[in-house]
Structure 1
């Protein structure tokens, strides 16, 4: 009687089960990969200098804040600080996050808008003791106003009917021009005014907050190359920082006090 190759037959019978297990493993891997959340887009982080929040050297509380956000969402934690016009140009041709930006009708469709990182008071400063004090909006519109060129403050002044507005390249220059009487008032976010007056080596008591025009929310915005799902991740990370207290710590650490006085 011929010998029956039992071991060989057993191995042959086991092959279909092994193949089935292999196919099951592949299918399971595909399902897990499909269920896993997509990796966030790595974006360029671009800031325009707005002391004291963002300095030209790439320091400041808002820089620290955005770097912490980047780490939380797994983004490359590097920030480029460039002038505002250059920052807006760079955001057109790459996935980018840009900050701090005021929101205006002109900019509305240029970018996608993320969380409000800072809310500032937009004020009109005059020289202390200046004649013809500005008491209300109607009086302000009759004056010569200086402000940062290409900024949301310049856009808002023109939209609100201010007819005599001069845009200047930097807030430091604006502080010096107001001090020299080159215009009647300076429209500027209050903390930015304090920083510029210090940088210009001018006495803070020489300036007065004549009129608060409005609150000015300043955003982290994104180029249209960044998917909405990624913007939602950044916004969720920001809300988590507010909830766990790290937002307050980062924004108050080393922040200077207000120096400019008020007539109110």
Structure 2
């Protein structure tokens, strides 16, 4: 989904750079390495990350919740006793660790492993961004069976970049994203991959 959004941005600004998909830890290293100029996405804008990147453009509001095929409506209090899958070193894991959760099962970033773990009963719930979970269960036995509880927290997902990205690239990206929001392109792309219920209603995008 994000790859298609960024590919459309690249097309609009006349850049033919191919979007590369790499492991999340490597992507973060590349984007913070002073010798590399990189665009990184999707990136939740958190206080711990604020000074590490240039925050180029916000794409959509992401809500985080506990989702399960067996235990509906889990919240920050009731989920504590269950085995929770999270992406390793990502905001959901860091957030729950701060809350004292002890039954976390960190998994390298990707959407294929956790749905299998849920389906096989190796974990009880998945705590992540709701649209990511919705995308992850498409084409699996869990499609239509996973229910998400109330929002635990919400942040904007951004396209971010290395601190040494040129102003010209930043301005070009920002204009393209603004136009795509105004034309409804980003929402249409998202709906190609996600069910409508997984998409948080867009607010006014500056």
| TM-score (structure 2 length as normaliser) | 0.79
Q: 1:136 to 1:248 in 2, by over 3 A?
A: closer
Pair 1:183–1:203, CA change in 2 (3 A): closer
| d(CA) in 1 for partners of 2:84, 2:76 | 12
Aligned to 1:65: 5
Residue 135 of structure 1, CA deviation? 4.8
Residues 60 and 156 of structure 2 are in contact (CA less than 8 Å); yes or no, is this contact kept in structure 1?
A: yes
CA 239–78 in structure 1, closer or farther in 2 if over 3 Å, else same:
same
Are 2:86 and 1:157 aligned?
A: no
Picking from 118, 123, 129, the partner of 1:189 is 129
Superposed, which structure 2 residues align to 1:71-150 within 5 Å?
71-91=11-31, 92=33, 93-128=35-70, 130=71, 135-150=74-89
Render the CA deviation track for 1:161-201: whole Å, top value 9, x for unaligned.
Answer: 433322012332212222333233210222222232234x3
Instruction: Tell me: CA distance 1:157–1:140, structure 2 relative to 1, closer, same or farther (3 Å).
Output: same
Q: Displacement, 1:94?
A: 1.3
Query: Which of 142, 166, 181 is the matching residue for 2:105?
Result: 166
Structure 1 residue aligned with 2:186, among 226, 238, 247?
Answer: 247
* Shift of residue 256, structure 1, vs aligned partner: 4.3
CA distance in 2, matches of 1:74, 1:191: 29
Residue by residue over 1:57-86, the C-alpha shift from the partner in whole angstroms, topping out at 9 and shown as x without a partner, is xxxxx3232222223334334211111112
CA distance in 2 between partners of 1:80 and 1:65 (Å): 13
TM-score (norm 1): 0.63
Distance 1:178 1:166 in 2: 12
Distance 1:127 1:172 in 2: 16
Match of 1:47 in 2: none
CA-CA distance at 1:245 after TM superposition: 3.8
Higher relative contact order (CA 8 A, sep 6+): 2
- Aligned-partner Cα distance in 1 for 2:115–2:176: 36
Q: Which residue of 2 aligns with 1:215?
A: 154
Task: List structure 1 segments (4+ residues) > 6 angstroms apart after TM superposition.
Answer: none
Number of aligned residue pairs: 195
Report matched runs for 1:222-241 at 5 Å: 222-228=161-167, 230-241=169-180
Q: What is the CA RMSD across the aligned residues, in angstroms?
A: 2.6
Q: Distance in 1 between matches of 2:75 and 2:189?
A: 36
**1:90-112 deviation per Cα after TM superposition (whole angstroms, max 9, x unaligned):** 22231111111122333222211
Q: Flag structure 2 segments of 5+ consecutive residues without an equivalent.
A: 199-206
Query: Alignment partner for residue 180 of structure 1, among 116, 120, 123?
Result: 120
Structure 1, gaps ≥5 residues long: 1-52, 54-61
